Amino acid sequence: MFRQLEGSQAIAETVAMCRPEVICAYPITPQTHIVEGLATLVKNGTLSPCEYINVESEFAAMSVAIGASAAGARAYTATASQGILFMAEAVYNASGLGLPIVMTVGNRAIGAPINIWNDHTDSMSMRDAGWIQLYAETNQEAADLHILAFRLAEEISLPVMVCVDGFILTHAFERVDMPTQEQIDSYLPPYAPRQLLDVDEPVTIGAMVGPEAYTEVRYLAHHRQMDALELIPRLSAEFRETFGRDSGGLLHTYRTEDAETVVVSLGSVNGTIKDVIDEFRDEGVRIGAISICSFRPFPMESLRVALAGVRRVVTVEKSLAIGLGGNVAPEVREALAGMGISVATIIAGLGGRAITRSSLRGVFRDAVEERLPPLTFLDLDLDLVHRQLERERADRRSGPAAESMLKDLGAVASRVG
């Protein structure tokens, strides 16, 4: 049924219909509306049986999920930004133990400087933590991916992170085709744990593993993620059969047939990118777009197939690997090794800076005309940076940099755009 819903509400209602048995939550913007929505659904009895635990930190949130999952309950939590860093040790632990926890990440920048707005620095910091990472493009997909996530996590015994752009999706009202309980129940069987803390069959979980088997245990996780490369398309096809729409998959292609230039991105920015692609296509420019839904496992082969015959790839990335450049581009380059395709990186939208069509039009034009350098920072105010560097040259004790740059700008901290 179509409803006009805030992204967080759509996610909360969908998660509730997935019948999680233990939900633990610690608030952080922009995840709050999701866990508030779930709190209501548990408290008013809509979601039952379910234990909703207000924990004292994100580290505890993930730890409660670990205990619950190992004791046989379907466990869910959500976080963002500083929260995912605060739980980092437990994030790795959950995947290392092979526990199929599902977590929403309402993507947000990481401080310092503290910033509540959207980018992908948070989930990117955990890209190698052993979790499957799915990125949602729309609110519809944000809701749907959770259903897929529980199914996938439990089939493969690995945790899944559903990454949803903060504010852009979590706080936006869009039309969402909400699934029914019957549909979800037919798609998602009850959780059958692979390992269980069971008094009738006691097991030891979490023993120390030395060099004799550590590599193999890690490889097993890698193997599972490689399996997921086949499982995700299969489960997405099943999803289409049950729910009558496309959500998930390894990646989405848009007008890539005959394209010479392809823009690769993650998450909601693909919406803006597609608009710009349409404009270029109207002018006869052979350009298309790919948005990667499954960043972990990384769809090497699918990318190779989707990009065969392309001349150049431009990645639009909402996170910065400081000291290197992009997070996505190096992986795309590895996927395309030997294919003679150039890959350029555009860092955009950090800390919520709006990614405008006109700015994208400019850099895509540069790419098409072979003028785009390997690394571009979209709409970077280089003068502001240089003035700060000048102040630092002039005065050893130039003070805190971020504050001094804000003062220079004369901008209020909350200005977006």
Partner 1 sequence: MEAATNGQTVGPARVRFYQTGTFTVGNRLLDVSVQSVQSDPRRNNSLNSGHRACQGCGEALGARYALDAAMRATKNRIVVANATGCLEVFSTPYPESSWRVPWLHSLFGNAPAVATGIAAALKVKGKDDVRVVAQGGDGGTVDIGFGCLSGMFERNDDVLYICYDNEAYMNTGVQRSSATPAGAKTNTTPGVGEEPGNVFGQGKSVPLIAMAHGIPYVATASVADLRDLEYKVQKAMGLHGARYIHVHVPCPLGWGSAPSDTIRVARLAIESGLFPVFEAEWGEVTGRRRIRDLVPAQAYLEAQGRFRHLFGKHPDTRRIAWIQDIANRNIRRFGLLDEGVQS
Q: Give the interface with partner 1 as residue ranges (CB under 8 A).
A: 21-22, 24, 49-51, 53-57, 59-60, 63-73, 75, 89-90, 93, 97, 196-199, 201-209
Q: 76 or 254: whose CB is closer to partner 1?
A: 76
Least spacing, CB of residue 122 vs partner 1, in Å: 20
Coil, helix or strand for 347?
strand
| Residue 6 or 154 with smaller CB distance to partner 1 | 154
Q: Least separation, in Å, of the C-beta of 51 and partner 1?
A: 4
Task: Name which of 101 and 313 has its Cβ closer to partner 1.
Answer: 101
Euclidean distance between CA atoms 127 and 30, whole angstroms: 20
Q: Which long-range contacts (CB under 8 A, 24 or more apart) does 12-16 make?
A: 12/36, 12/37, 12/38, 12/41, 13/37, 13/41, 13/143, 13/178, 14/143, 14/144, 14/146, 14/147, 14/178, 14/179, 14/184, 15/76, 15/102, 15/104, 15/146, 16/41, 16/42, 16/46, 16/47
Cβ nearer to partner 1, comparing 70 with 250: 70
**Of 56 and 383, CB closest to partner 1:** 56
Rounded Cα distance between 354 and 109, Å, is 13
Closest to partner 1 by CB, 1 or 208? 208
Distance, in Å, from the CA atom of 267 to the CA atom of 43, rounded to the nearest integer, reads 32
- Rounded to the nearest whole angstrom, what is the least distance from the CB of residue 303 to partner 1 in the complex? 35
Query: Closest approach of Cβ 282 to partner 1, in Å?
Result: 54
To partner 1, the closest distance from the beta carbon of 202 in angstroms equals: 4
| Least distance to partner 1, CB of residue 77, Å | 10
Contact 265, 316 (CB under 8 A): yes
Q: Name the amino acid, one letter, at 296.
A: R
> Is the separation of the CB atoms in 162 and 142 below 8 Å?
yes
Bridge partners of 239? none
Rounded to a whole number of angstroms, the minimum distance from the CB of residue 61 to partner 1 is 8
Virtual CA dihedral for 47, 50, 54, 58, nearest 10 degrees? -100
Minimum CB distance to partner 1 smaller for 92 or for 377 = 92
Phi-psi region of 167 (alpha: psi -120 to 50; beta: other; left: phi over 0): left
Joined tokens for residue 241: 């059969």
Choose between 1 and 203: whose C-beta lies nearer to partner 1: 203
Q: Cα 400 to chain center, whole Å?
A: 31
The least CB distance from residue 125 to partner 1, in Å, is 18
Q: How many CA atoms, within 13 angstroms, populate the side-chain half-sphere of residue 227?
A: 12
